[in-house]
């Protein structure tokens, strides 16, 4: 029997050469990335405000409610008032009882709220220079913040030219370290200071008028010199005593919604005021804080006798008691073009373009700043009185006025 042996056999390999004889080259490269960064961001949710609204009194019986509304036109004013008091008295009484029992008024003196005679003199503000020169307090004005009280000093009796100085004193009445005879600020003018007025919105602006017709403007926000300008008659101002000053305030609430940024800057840097004087002039001034408090005379109104309509001649003389002689029946050359002393001025609250003027001869004139014809400033006049008008005031809630 044949045995077959197995043996390892080596077979020659077959070599295949590539067609491209060019050898390839290899290179090792490393790439570095930026480090991994983690950021944390926080968000804030919106704030919500809740407000309670109280509705009108709700009638339980709708039938009686309809009958009450149907008969409302037939009721008299006294019946309506009585019905209103009966309806609101329980609610008001309940609220008063809750306030009395509240702990809020635990440490307060409730007696002074119901005592009419609870009026005491807290401080007596005295300016030593005014007492020395026997000057009177010619005007006062509170600042918009209610902290400063400005008082102007001058003489009320002038037989000739004014030869003494005037003063403007400002006291901080809310300060605990108040010294009655030492004001916080004191300004000296060349002549008597006859009126003074703070801006109704900006507490740092203050204006005053002198006996010789100079308009003085101060800005308390300036650190170096508070006085912005001192404008006299040679610059187109008043020729005689300035009796009153009124600031013209803009309606910023409406303008901020409709104006762009440039107009908003103008409203916060440009201010206007009116001044009236014994020379019959009403002058509109413009103050521009962008140019170091530049003060310009914008418009001048001249009030004369002919602007007041028919003025009755004073009947204090016994020879004129039985006559009704009017100035309109006199020749036009007599007193028609003579300037009238303007004693008081008041701006309208709703429409600041309109204002009321009171004159020394008893005239009351309704004027408008933006009138079309500047020669006819006065649009209306009322029947004149036989006395001097010292003050006029326009009511806020109605177009009427009082004097």
Range of the domain at 270: 127-302
Q: Taking residues 266-293, what's their average pLDDT?
A: 82
| 144-166: average pLDDT | 88
Binned at pLDDT 50, 70 and 90, residue 194 comes out as: very high
Phi and psi torsions of 370, nearest 5°:
-90, 55
Length of the chain: 403
- Alpha-carbon distance 248 to 152, whole Å? 21
Instruction: Check pLDDT > 60 for residue 381.
Output: no
pTM of the model: 0.58
Q: Give, for 98, the enclosing helix (H) or strand (E).
A: helix 77-101
Does 136 share its domain with 227? Answer: yes
Q: Quickly list DSSP for 182-201.
A: S-SEEEEESS-EEEEEE-SS
Predicted pLDDT at 65: 61
Compute and round to an integer the Cα radius of gyration of the chain: 41
**Does 243 lie in the same domain as 350?**
no
How many separate domains does the chain show? 2
Q: Are residues 268 and 357 in the same domain?
A: no
Give 248 or 208, the one with higher predicted confidence: 208
Do 315 and 298 lie in one domain? The reply is no
Give Cα separations from 294 to 217, 248, 250, 284, 343 (angstroms): 10, 17, 19, 14, 28
**Are residues 210 and 352 both part of a single domain?**
no
| pLDDT band of 307, cuts 50, 70, 90 | confident
Question: Of 273, 302, 331, which one is at a domain's C-terminal end?
Answer: 302
pLDDT at 28: 82
Residues 317 and 247 in one domain: no
- Residue 109 inside a domain? The answer is no
Give the lowest-confidence range in 64-73, 141-150, 351-360, 388-397: 388-397
Residue pLDDT, tens place only, 29-52: 888 888 888 888 877 777 777 777
Does 60 reside within a domain? Answer: no
pLDDT tens for 215-259 read 999 998 887 888 888 887 666 788 889 999 999 876 444 454 455
Same domain, 222 and 276: yes
219 and 277, same structural domain?
yes
Stretch 106-128: mean pLDDT: 69
Q: What is the pLDDT of residue 178?
A: 86
Range list of H helices, 184-339: 252-258, 261-269
- Assigned domain for 92 exists: no
Residues 256 and 396 in one domain: no
Decide if 44 is inside a domain.
Answer: no
Between 382 and 287, the higher pLDDT residue: 287
Task: Please give the Cα distance from 140 to 152 (Å, whole number).
Answer: 6
Same domain, 232 and 365: no
Q: What CATH number did the domain enclosing 256 receive? A: 2.130.10.10
Choose the final residue of a domain: 269, 302, 335.
Answer: 302
Q: Strand 227-231: give its sheet, edge to edge.
A: 193-198, 205-210, 215-219, 227-231
Residue where a domain stops, chosen among 302, 334, 358: 302
Mean pLDDT, rounded, for 296-324: 58
Q: Is residue 311 part of a domain?
A: yes
Indicate if 222 and 313 belong to the same structural domain: no
Give yes or no: residues 351 and 230 share one domain: no
* Mean of pLDDT over the chain: 74
């Amino acid at each position: 029997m044949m045995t077959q042996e197995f043996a390892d056999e080596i077979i020659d390999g077959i070599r295949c050469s590539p067609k491209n004889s060019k050898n390839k080259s290899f290179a090792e490269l490393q790439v570095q990335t930026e480090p991994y960064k983690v950021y944390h961001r926080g968000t804030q949710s919106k704030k919500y405000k809740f407000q309670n609204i109280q509705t009108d009194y709700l009638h339980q019986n709708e039938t009686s409610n309809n009958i009450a509304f149907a008969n409302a036109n037939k009721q008299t004013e006294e019946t309506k008032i009585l019905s209103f008091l009966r309806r609101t008295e329980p609610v008001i009484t309940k609220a008063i009882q809750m306030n009395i029992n509240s702990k809020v008024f635990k440490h307060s003196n409730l007696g002074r709220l119901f005592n009419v005679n609870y009026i005491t003199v807290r401080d007596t503000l005295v300016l030593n220079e005014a007492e020395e020169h026997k000057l009177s307090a010619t005007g006062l004005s509170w600042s918009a913040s209610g902290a400063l009280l400005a008082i102007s000093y001058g003489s009320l009796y002038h037989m000739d030219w004014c030869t003494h100085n005037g003063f403007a004193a400002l006291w901080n009445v809310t300060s605990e370290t108040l010294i009655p005879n030492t004001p916080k600020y004191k300004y000296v003018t060349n002549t008597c200071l006859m009126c003074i007025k703070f801006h109704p919105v900006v507490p740092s602006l203050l204006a005053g008028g002198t006996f010789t017709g100079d308009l003085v403007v101060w800005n308390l926000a300036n650190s170096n010199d508070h006085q912005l300008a001192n404008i006299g008659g040679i610059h187109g101002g008043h020729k005689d005593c300035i009796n009153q000053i009124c600031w013209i305030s803009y309606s910023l609430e409406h303008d901020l919604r409709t104006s762009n940024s440039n107009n908003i800057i103008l409203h916060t840097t440009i201010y206007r005021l009116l001044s009236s004087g014994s020379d019959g002039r009403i002058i509109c001034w413009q103050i521009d804080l962008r140019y170091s408090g530049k003060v310009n005379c914008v418009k001048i109104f001249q009030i004369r006798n002919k602007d007041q309509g028919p003025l009755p001649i004073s009947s204090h003389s016994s020879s004129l008691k039985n006559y009704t002689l009017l100035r309109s029946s006199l020749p036009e050359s007599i007193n028609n073009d003579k300037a009238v002393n303007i004693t008081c001025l008041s701006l309208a609250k709703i429409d600041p373009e309109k204002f009321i003027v009171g004159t020394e001869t008893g005239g009351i004139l309704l004027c408008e700043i933006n009138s079309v014809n500047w020669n006819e400033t006065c649009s209306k006049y009322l029947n004149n009185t036989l006395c001097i008008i010292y003050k006029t005031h326009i009511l806020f809630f109605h177009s009427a006025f009082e004097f």
